[in-house]
Amino acid sequence: MRHVALVLPLLASLLTSPLTAQSAPADPQAAPYTLRSTTRLVVEDVLVTDAHNHPVAALPRTAFHLSDDNHPQTLRTFEESTTPTAPGPSDPAAAPGTFSNAALSNGSRVINVLLIDNINLEVEDQMYLRVQALHAISTLPPATAAIVFRSTGHGAPVMVQSLTSDHALLARAVENSVPAFTTPAFPSVSKALSTLDSLSSYLAQYPGRKSLLWLAGNFPLFTPLGDPGGVPGFGQMQEAIRSTQRNLEAARVAVFPIDVRGVVNVGGTINGAHSTNMDNPTGSPVTQGEDVRQRGSWAAMDELANSTGGQAFYSTNAVAQAMDNALTLARHAYTLTYSPEPYAANGAFHKVRLTVDGPFHVSYRLGYYADEPRSSGSLEAERVSAPADAGDPHPPAAVPPIVFLAEVHPAADPAPAPPGTGGIPLTVHYSITAGDLEFTHDPSSRNQARFKVAVLAYNADGDILSSAIDTVTTHYSDPQLALARRTGVPMFQQLRVRKGARFLLLSVVDLETGRTGTLQLTLASAEAAPRPGSSPAPENASHP
């Protein structure tokens, strides 16, 4: 059976695939030669906190000092982030049954992601997680938006709530996720890396920063530095970890690992220093083996947080406060960019050191690999030789998503179900922003755009139960295109949703540019919409 999470990296890969731009050849008489150099643009999202772990705001650009492999660097851009108040993309629009992903195009938004990883958690720990997560959601500022994923233990994480600032929907997603019976699974580095890779692939479609709150009881990512020798596959695992770090960097994801089990009685130090977020518990000592395993898990949390610019929270009974701290820090960050000098795309790891004037703690991505960047977190700009006072070009923007509106209703006059299938008949009417599609002229000089639309219905484990995928080619006259630019490009789909489905995933992919837009909603919200009077098919669209 297909898994919905396997589709998300595919959509994201289409979005981030390199695009070929055509340009006219230069006149050799006018320009006998042109000097070009390629420079890496590194993006650092920085958290600055005081002695009480509170965010520090309003610092000037001159307070930040950065070096790359011990070479002082000059900042190209500097920005203190703010959080807008736009609704999330799955928030219902004007009418029941009408949904939009418009918030995907808001580049200044801070994207918060909750990953509920209740694999191998005892029921009492899951109940504690539920209470603490619901309390944290109840205290969120009104504009705070988030996405909720749940780990299944046998595949990539499943999205149970797409980006929304409706806190009732976020609370419902938590309630539907914990407590839950989970199949025991042996914690492994490869599964953890696969989880992070899947999330990075999906989150890459969103511009701006993302803060991933990973709520779990075990973090098996810790590995000793260097090759210990005699460990089969150690080199391959190190390369897999590097690949995941690249993916997180490209998607601009900072990870905040949170151990949800409360205070655990392990003394001593972790990675040579006490965690600022660790209580000093007292009680019965644990065995030496348990002590080593717990130290390794906490060390993994610190390592993951430090390598992505987040913070780790563990051995605390205030999980709700830890979540609130992480979300508060996500709303107060500084974004810096610089082009490292010297630089060579040789795959080597570059260590980044950043300091701030004052008695503050700084969290940021501690380095990057000098290879081909793939998305908005690490961009590559081509710089043409120019006068010294011309200045550096503005950093390239992330590829924007396709924005669309979707009306999802129970079918007015459903066709009889095939024998043995049953299910709920739905209709989906799309209105796609014409400016987000690439229009060219077909042989008859009409305006042609080629794109795919897909609607997938899946269950709580991410298994795809029903799907409809259509390839669309428009052939618009100029007046028709002008109308589409005002009202949107229409598209219509029908889907019979099988029993057991709980979520719908809608997507639009431009086949010329690879731009993608996605929208996830609960099946219950679609079923609650009134039935439309009719379902006309769009004109001027052909389906191969």
Domain with CATH 2.60.40 in the chain: 400-542
Q: Are 169 and 110 in contact (CB under 8 A)?
A: no
Residue 396 has pLDDT above 60, yes or no: no
Q: What pLDDT does 311 receive?
A: 92
Mean pLDDT (the chain) is 77
Q: What pLDDT does 306 receive?
A: 87
**Percentage of the chain exceeding pLDDT 90:** 38
Please give the residue that has the higher pLDDT: either 374 or 273: 374
Strand positions, DSSP E, 168-228: 210-216
**Distance between CA atoms of residues 339 and 74, nearest Å:** 8
Of the pLDDT bands very low, low, confident and very high (cuts 50, 70, 90), residue 269 is very low
Residue 173 has pLDDT above 60, yes or no: yes
Of the pLDDT bands very low, low, confident and very high (cuts 50, 70, 90), residue 331 is confident
Q: What is the DSSP letter of 284?
A: S
pLDDT in tens, 510-532: 999 988 888 888 888 777 666 65
Phi then psi for 12, rounded to 5 degrees?
A: -65, -35
Phi then psi for 327, rounded to 5 degrees?
A: -70, -35
Give me the amino acid identity at 49: T
What phi-psi label fits residue 11: left (phi over 0), alpha (psi between -120 and 50 degrees) or beta?
Answer: alpha
Domain with CATH 3.40.50.410 in the chain: 35-49+64-95+110-224+238-385
Phi then psi for 325, rounded to 5 degrees?
A: -60, -45
pLDDT in tens, 17-51: 333 333 333 333 433 333 344 568 899 999 999 99
Of the pLDDT bands very low, low, confident and very high (cuts 50, 70, 90), residue 441 is very high
Q: Looking at domain 35-49+64-95+110-224+238-385, does it have CATH number 3.40.50.300?
A: no
**Distance between CA atoms of residues 123 and 118, nearest Å:** 9
Q: What pLDDT does 266 receive?
A: 60
Closest CA to 134 of 289, 295, 310, 324: 324
Q: Give the residue carrying structure tokens 């692939």.
A: 201
Sign, CA dihedral 127-130-133-136, equals negative
**Distance between CA atoms of residues 46 and 172, nearest Å:** 32
**Distance between CA atoms of residues 49 and 129, nearest Å:** 26
Closest CA to 464 of 41, 105, 7: 7
Burial of 240 (0-12, 13-18, 19+ CB in 10 A): middle
Q: What pLDDT does 181 receive?
A: 77
Q: What is the pTM of this model?
A: 0.74
Residue 419 has pLDDT above 80, yes or no: no
pLDDT in tens, 274-289: 333 333 333 334 455 5
> What is the token pair recorded at 532?
């439309």
Please give the residue that has the higher pLDDT: either 526 or 231: 526
**Distance between CA atoms of residues 305 and 15, nearest Å:** 27
Q: Are 130 and 147 in contact (CB under 8 A)?
A: no
Q: What pLDDT does 59 receive?
A: 95
Of the pLDDT bands very low, low, confident and very high (cuts 50, 70, 90), residue 111 is confident
| 253-259 and 210-216 beta bridge pairing | parallel
Highest-pLDDT range among 1-15, 487-501, 523-537 = 487-501
Q: At what angle do helices 167-177 and 123-138 cross, to 10 degrees?
A: 180
**Distance between CA atoms of residues 215 and 118, nearest Å:** 8
pLDDT in tens, 175-203: 988 888 776 667 678 888 889 999 998 88
CA distances from 4 to 15, 149, 159, 286 (A): 17, 12, 9, 41
- Hey, which residues does 505 pair with through a beta bridge? 456, 520
**Distance between CA atoms of residues 526 and 522, nearest Å:** 7
pLDDT in tens, 305-326: 988 999 999 888 889 999 999 9
Q: Which fold has domain 400-542?
A: Immunoglobulin-like (2.60.40)
Please give the residue that has the higher pLDDT: either 461 or 171: 171
